[in-house]
Amino acid sequence: MKKVDQKFVRKVGWTASFMSLVLYFSFLDQIRLNLSGHPGSIILPVVTIFNCSFWVAYGALMEKRNWPIIACNVPGIFIGAAAAITAYIATYMPWLL
């Protein structure tokens, strides 16, 4: 088996991290809709919180911390939480908006 250049692997890791951030920032539109009275589902943001939490734990608990994994998943926890909270409020407590 041919050995893969580690510099290339590192670039792939950071590119994947960037793409994950783009995905998480797409929740900002859902938050905007939630706050304007058009609630979205709470399921995807909650699953995102759990997914990102486990990836952060995995990256942090490795013998050599995996910073691309940690860096791209921490924002997902907070943005997912904001999307879940605003979806909940828009659905069950619309008088707060």
Instruction: Give residue limits of the domains in the chain.
Output: 41-97
Kindly state the DSSP code that residue 36 receives in the 8-state scheme: T
For the packed helices 27-35 and 43-61, what is the interaxial angle rounded to 10 degrees? 140
Q: Which two tokens stand for residue 52?
A: 């990102």
User: What tens digit of pLDDT does each residue of 22-56 get?
Assistant: 989 899 999 999 999 999 999 999 999 999 999 99
Q: pLDDT-based confidence at 16, cuts 50/70/90? A: confident
The pLDDT assigned to 96 comes to 87
pTM: 0.84
| CA distance linking residue 97 with residue 61, whole number of Å | 40
Question: For residue 23, what are its two tokens?
Answer: 């995905």
